[in-house]
Structure 1
Amino acid sequence: MIMIAEGIGNFLKVRLPVRLQDGRTVVYLAWVYLQAEVIDEFTDRVGKGTLAGHRFEGLLCNAVGPWGEEILRAPVVLGGQQANEDGSIRLPEVLASSHPLLGKVLGERWPAEFVLGHRDPHLPTG
Protein backbone atom coordinates (compact mmCIF):
# COMPACT_ATOMS: atom_id res chain seq x y z
CA MET A 1 0.00 0.00 0.00
CA ILE A 2 1.33 3.40 -1.00
CA MET A 3 0.19 6.79 0.24
CA ILE A 4 1.30 9.98 -1.46
CA ALA A 5 0.38 13.07 0.56
CA GLU A 6 0.87 16.25 -1.47
CA GLY A 7 3.26 18.60 0.28
CA ILE A 8 4.02 16.01 2.98
CA GLY A 9 5.66 12.99 1.38
CA ASN A 10 5.51 9.47 0.00
CA PHE A 11 4.78 6.57 2.33
CA LEU A 12 4.86 2.81 1.98
CA LYS A 13 3.22 0.30 4.33
CA VAL A 14 5.79 -2.29 5.46
CA ARG A 15 6.23 -5.27 7.77
CA LEU A 16 8.49 -4.85 10.81
CA PRO A 17 9.26 -8.30 12.28
CA VAL A 18 10.22 -8.69 15.94
CA ARG A 19 11.54 -12.08 16.99
CA LEU A 20 10.52 -13.43 20.38
CA GLN A 21 12.62 -15.62 22.66
CA ASP A 22 10.05 -18.41 22.42
CA GLY A 23 10.52 -18.74 18.65
CA ARG A 24 7.48 -16.75 17.55
CA THR A 25 7.68 -13.58 15.49
CA VAL A 26 5.44 -10.55 15.97
CA VAL A 27 4.94 -8.52 12.80
CA TYR A 28 4.04 -4.86 13.16
CA LEU A 29 2.66 -2.99 10.19
CA ALA A 30 4.18 0.46 9.86
CA TRP A 31 4.59 3.33 7.42
CA VAL A 32 7.97 4.29 5.98
CA TYR A 33 8.74 7.59 4.30
CA LEU A 34 10.44 7.21 0.90
CA GLN A 35 11.97 9.92 -1.24
CA ALA A 36 10.19 10.51 -4.57
CA GLU A 37 12.82 8.72 -6.69
CA VAL A 38 12.73 5.71 -4.36
CA ILE A 39 8.92 5.38 -4.48
CA ASP A 40 9.11 5.75 -8.29
CA GLU A 41 11.65 2.92 -8.50
CA PHE A 42 9.54 0.81 -6.12
CA THR A 43 6.38 1.18 -8.24
CA ASP A 44 8.38 0.56 -11.43
CA ARG A 45 9.83 -2.66 -10.00
CA VAL A 46 6.40 -3.83 -8.82
CA GLY A 47 5.04 -3.26 -12.32
CA LYS A 48 7.92 -5.16 -13.92
CA GLY A 49 7.93 -7.95 -11.32
CA THR A 50 11.54 -7.20 -10.30
CA LEU A 51 10.97 -6.17 -6.68
CA ALA A 52 12.02 -9.46 -5.05
CA GLY A 53 15.48 -9.15 -3.53
CA HIS A 54 15.73 -5.39 -4.14
CA ARG A 55 16.79 -3.24 -1.17
CA PHE A 56 15.84 0.38 -0.64
CA GLU A 57 15.97 2.94 2.18
CA GLY A 58 13.51 5.14 4.04
CA LEU A 59 12.55 6.52 7.45
CA LEU A 60 10.20 4.78 9.93
CA CYS A 61 7.10 6.93 10.48
CA ASN A 62 5.42 5.07 13.36
CA ALA A 63 5.99 4.63 17.04
CA VAL A 64 6.07 0.84 17.40
CA GLY A 65 5.33 -1.48 20.30
CA PRO A 66 7.01 -1.02 23.65
CA TRP A 67 9.80 1.06 22.06
CA GLY A 68 7.32 3.79 21.11
CA GLU A 69 8.63 7.07 19.78
CA GLU A 70 12.25 6.13 20.52
CA ILE A 71 12.41 4.52 17.05
CA LEU A 72 10.34 7.14 15.23
CA ARG A 73 12.17 8.51 12.16
CA ALA A 74 14.81 5.77 12.35
CA PRO A 75 16.51 5.05 9.02
CA VAL A 76 15.54 1.64 7.67
CA VAL A 77 16.62 -0.72 4.92
CA LEU A 78 13.67 -2.43 3.25
CA GLY A 79 13.64 -5.58 1.19
CA GLY A 80 11.26 -6.34 -1.63
CA GLN A 81 9.37 -9.57 -1.14
CA GLN A 82 8.27 -12.39 -3.41
CA ALA A 83 4.64 -12.37 -4.49
CA ASN A 84 2.14 -14.39 -2.45
CA GLU A 85 0.84 -17.67 -3.85
CA ASP A 86 -2.27 -15.89 -5.16
CA GLY A 87 -0.06 -13.44 -7.11
CA SER A 88 -0.65 -10.48 -4.79
CA ILE A 89 2.36 -8.43 -3.75
CA ARG A 90 3.63 -8.97 -0.20
CA LEU A 91 4.46 -5.89 1.79
CA PRO A 92 8.16 -5.02 1.88
CA GLU A 93 9.92 -5.86 5.12
CA VAL A 94 12.24 -3.86 7.36
CA LEU A 95 15.53 -5.76 7.22
CA ALA A 96 17.95 -3.49 9.07
CA SER A 97 18.52 -0.08 10.61
CA SER A 98 21.56 2.00 11.53
CA HIS A 99 19.52 3.40 14.44
CA PRO A 100 20.97 1.79 17.61
CA LEU A 101 17.66 0.83 19.23
CA LEU A 102 15.83 -0.24 16.06
CA GLY A 103 18.88 -2.25 15.01
CA LYS A 104 18.66 -4.02 18.37
CA VAL A 105 14.88 -4.54 17.97
CA LEU A 106 15.48 -6.23 14.62
CA GLY A 107 18.58 -8.18 15.60
CA GLU A 108 17.75 -9.63 19.00
CA ARG A 109 15.11 -11.95 20.43
CA TRP A 110 12.75 -10.32 22.93
CA PRO A 111 10.72 -11.69 25.86
CA ALA A 112 7.11 -12.22 24.78
CA GLU A 113 5.79 -10.56 27.93
CA PHE A 114 7.77 -7.39 27.09
CA VAL A 115 6.58 -7.19 23.48
CA LEU A 116 3.03 -8.52 23.84
CA GLY A 117 2.21 -7.92 27.51
CA HIS A 118 -1.39 -8.84 28.27
CA ARG A 119 -2.14 -9.23 24.51
CA ASP A 120 -0.18 -12.49 24.34
CA PRO A 121 -2.61 -15.18 23.12
CA HIS A 122 -0.53 -17.81 24.93
CA LEU A 123 -1.29 -16.34 28.37
CA PRO A 124 -4.12 -17.97 30.31
CA THR A 125 -7.23 -15.84 30.67
CA GLY A 126 -9.01 -15.63 33.88
Structure 2
Amino acid sequence: MTDSALCACGAPLDERDRQIRFRLPDPVLALDPAELEAGRWGNDVMMAVENVGTFVRCLLPVRLSHGFSATFALWLGVHPADLQAAYDVWTAPEYIDFELSGFVANAIEPWGADLLAAPARAVVKDPEHVPYIVESSHDLLAQVITEEWPHHEVIR
Protein backbone atom coordinates (compact mmCIF):
# COMPACT_ATOMS: atom_id res chain seq x y z
CA MET A 1 0.00 0.00 0.00
CA THR A 2 1.34 3.42 -0.90
CA ASP A 3 1.24 6.46 1.34
CA SER A 4 -1.29 8.08 -0.98
CA ALA A 5 -3.75 5.34 -0.04
CA LEU A 6 -3.56 6.33 3.64
CA CYS A 7 -5.32 9.13 5.45
CA ALA A 8 -3.56 11.31 8.00
CA CYS A 9 -4.52 8.86 10.77
CA GLY A 10 -2.84 5.95 8.95
CA ALA A 11 -6.01 4.01 8.09
CA PRO A 12 -6.53 2.84 4.51
CA LEU A 13 -8.89 5.22 2.72
CA ASP A 14 -11.08 2.42 1.36
CA GLU A 15 -11.89 1.44 4.95
CA ARG A 16 -13.10 4.96 5.62
CA ASP A 17 -16.16 4.89 3.35
CA ARG A 18 -19.21 4.19 5.50
CA GLN A 19 -21.95 2.33 3.59
CA ILE A 20 -25.53 3.10 4.65
CA ARG A 21 -28.27 1.12 2.89
CA PHE A 22 -31.97 1.94 3.06
CA ARG A 23 -34.02 -1.26 2.96
CA LEU A 24 -37.13 0.36 1.47
CA PRO A 25 -38.28 3.77 0.21
CA ASP A 26 -39.86 5.82 3.00
CA PRO A 27 -43.35 5.86 1.39
CA VAL A 28 -43.26 2.05 1.29
CA LEU A 29 -42.36 1.82 4.97
CA ALA A 30 -45.73 3.37 5.79
CA LEU A 31 -47.55 0.29 4.46
CA ASP A 32 -48.51 -2.62 6.66
CA PRO A 33 -46.69 -5.87 5.70
CA ALA A 34 -49.74 -7.54 4.14
CA GLU A 35 -50.47 -4.50 1.99
CA LEU A 36 -46.83 -4.36 0.91
CA GLU A 37 -46.61 -8.01 -0.14
CA ALA A 38 -49.91 -7.89 -2.02
CA GLY A 39 -48.91 -5.05 -4.31
CA ARG A 40 -45.12 -5.23 -4.63
CA TRP A 41 -42.92 -6.21 -7.54
CA GLY A 42 -39.15 -6.04 -7.54
CA ASN A 43 -35.91 -6.81 -5.81
CA ASP A 44 -33.21 -4.93 -3.91
CA VAL A 45 -32.48 -2.53 -6.81
CA MET A 46 -35.85 -1.95 -8.50
CA MET A 47 -39.38 -1.97 -7.17
CA ALA A 48 -42.94 -1.03 -7.98
CA VAL A 49 -45.53 -0.80 -5.23
CA GLU A 50 -49.17 -0.49 -6.19
CA ASN A 51 -50.70 2.87 -5.23
CA VAL A 52 -47.32 4.09 -3.92
CA GLY A 53 -44.80 4.38 -6.76
CA THR A 54 -41.86 3.00 -8.68
CA PHE A 55 -38.30 3.14 -7.40
CA VAL A 56 -34.70 2.46 -8.42
CA ARG A 57 -31.84 2.13 -5.96
CA CYS A 58 -29.08 4.72 -6.42
CA LEU A 59 -25.87 5.62 -4.63
CA LEU A 60 -25.28 9.02 -3.07
CA PRO A 61 -21.60 9.43 -2.13
CA VAL A 62 -20.93 12.20 0.39
CA ARG A 63 -17.46 13.61 1.04
CA LEU A 64 -16.66 13.96 4.73
CA SER A 65 -13.88 15.71 6.60
CA HIS A 66 -10.57 14.00 7.43
CA GLY A 67 -10.65 11.79 4.32
CA PHE A 68 -13.85 9.99 5.27
CA SER A 69 -16.86 9.45 3.05
CA ALA A 70 -20.33 8.01 3.38
CA THR A 71 -22.20 6.31 0.58
CA PHE A 72 -25.96 6.15 0.96
CA ALA A 73 -27.70 3.38 -1.01
CA LEU A 74 -31.07 5.11 -1.24
CA TRP A 75 -34.19 4.84 -3.33
CA LEU A 76 -35.07 7.26 -6.11
CA GLY A 77 -38.77 7.57 -6.95
CA VAL A 78 -39.01 7.42 -10.74
CA HIS A 79 -41.63 7.50 -13.48
CA PRO A 80 -42.89 3.99 -14.35
CA ALA A 81 -41.41 4.32 -17.87
CA ASP A 82 -37.99 4.97 -16.30
CA LEU A 83 -38.34 1.85 -14.15
CA GLN A 84 -39.12 -0.13 -17.31
CA ALA A 85 -36.10 1.43 -19.06
CA ALA A 86 -33.89 0.46 -16.11
CA TYR A 87 -35.21 -3.10 -16.22
CA ASP A 88 -34.61 -3.31 -19.98
CA VAL A 89 -30.92 -2.31 -19.82
CA TRP A 90 -29.85 -3.45 -16.32
CA THR A 91 -27.85 -6.45 -17.55
CA ALA A 92 -27.20 -5.22 -21.10
CA PRO A 93 -24.09 -3.45 -22.44
CA GLU A 94 -26.22 -0.28 -22.83
CA TYR A 95 -26.49 -0.03 -19.04
CA ILE A 96 -23.22 1.98 -18.92
CA ASP A 97 -25.02 4.83 -20.74
CA PHE A 98 -28.15 4.70 -18.57
CA GLU A 99 -29.37 7.86 -16.82
CA LEU A 100 -32.52 8.61 -14.91
CA SER A 101 -34.18 11.40 -13.01
CA GLY A 102 -36.49 11.20 -10.07
CA PHE A 103 -37.02 12.22 -6.47
CA VAL A 104 -35.17 11.09 -3.34
CA ALA A 105 -37.45 8.60 -1.56
CA ASN A 106 -35.57 8.37 1.77
CA ALA A 107 -35.03 10.91 4.53
CA ILE A 108 -31.25 10.89 4.93
CA GLU A 109 -29.79 11.92 8.27
CA PRO A 110 -28.56 14.41 9.27
CA TRP A 111 -30.53 16.31 6.60
CA GLY A 112 -33.69 14.28 7.21
CA ALA A 113 -36.94 15.28 5.56
CA ASP A 114 -35.24 18.27 3.92
CA LEU A 115 -33.92 15.86 1.26
CA LEU A 116 -37.09 13.78 0.95
CA ALA A 117 -38.61 14.32 -2.52
CA ALA A 118 -35.63 16.39 -3.71
CA PRO A 119 -35.23 16.10 -7.49
CA ALA A 120 -32.09 14.26 -8.59
CA ARG A 121 -30.34 12.98 -11.69
CA ALA A 122 -28.43 9.71 -11.58
CA VAL A 123 -25.97 8.15 -14.03
CA VAL A 124 -24.13 4.87 -14.27
CA LYS A 125 -20.44 5.35 -13.47
CA ASP A 126 -19.56 1.67 -13.09
CA PRO A 127 -21.51 -1.16 -14.76
CA GLU A 128 -21.11 -3.22 -11.57
CA HIS A 129 -22.93 -0.60 -9.47
CA VAL A 130 -26.37 0.95 -9.34
CA PRO A 131 -26.54 4.52 -10.71
CA TYR A 132 -24.92 7.38 -8.80
CA ILE A 133 -26.77 10.58 -7.97
CA VAL A 134 -24.70 13.31 -9.61
CA GLU A 135 -26.79 16.48 -9.59
CA SER A 136 -29.89 18.17 -8.31
CA SER A 137 -31.73 21.45 -8.74
CA HIS A 138 -32.59 21.24 -5.02
CA ASP A 139 -30.19 23.57 -3.17
CA LEU A 140 -29.50 21.31 -0.18
CA LEU A 141 -29.10 18.11 -2.20
CA ALA A 142 -26.76 19.94 -4.58
CA GLN A 143 -24.66 20.92 -1.54
CA VAL A 144 -24.69 17.33 -0.24
CA ILE A 145 -23.42 16.15 -3.62
CA THR A 146 -20.68 18.76 -4.09
CA GLU A 147 -19.46 19.89 -0.68
CA GLU A 148 -17.43 18.31 2.11
CA TRP A 149 -19.37 17.75 5.35
CA PRO A 150 -18.10 17.44 8.93
CA HIS A 151 -17.62 13.74 9.67
CA HIS A 152 -19.09 14.03 13.17
CA GLU A 153 -22.33 15.53 11.81
CA VAL A 154 -23.01 12.80 9.26
CA ILE A 155 -21.60 9.70 10.99
CA ARG A 156 -22.74 9.55 14.59
Larger radius of gyration: 2
User: In the alignment, does 2:68 pair up with 1:29?
Assistant: no
Letter in 2 for 1:11: F
* Greater displacement, 21-30 / 92-101: 21-30
For residues 3 and 91 of structure 1, the distance between their equivalents in structure 2, rounded to whole angstroms, comes to: 14
Deviations 1:34-58 (A, max 9, x none): 1011111111121422111432101
Contact 2:120 2:137 in 1 (8 A): yes
Aligned to 2:59: 15
3-state SS, counterpart of residue 84 of structure 2: helix
Contact 1:51 1:82 in 2 (8 A): no
For residues 113 and 64 of structure 1, the distance between their equivalents in structure 2, rounded to whole angstroms, comes to: 15
3-state SS, counterpart of residue 113 of structure 1: helix
Aligned to 2:120: 76
So what's the TM-score if we normalise by structure 2? 0.67
Match of 2:141 among 102, 109, 121: 102
For residues 71 and 92 of structure 2, the distance between their equivalents in structure 1, rounded to whole angstroms, comes to: 27
Unaligned runs of 5+ in 2: 1-44
| Post-superposition offset of 1:81 | 3.7
Aligned to 1:57: 101
| Post-superposition offset of 1:65 | 1.6
Contact 1:51 1:81 in 2 (8 A): no
Moved over 6 A (4+): none
Aligned to 2:15: none
For residues 73 and 55 of structure 1, the distance between their equivalents in structure 2, rounded to whole angstroms, comes to: 18
| Residues 103-118 of structure 1 mapped to structure 2, 5 A cutoff | 103-117=142-156
Contact 1:58 1:77 in 2 (8 A): yes
So what's the TM-score if we normalise by structure 1? 0.82
| Post-superposition offset of 1:11 | 0.8
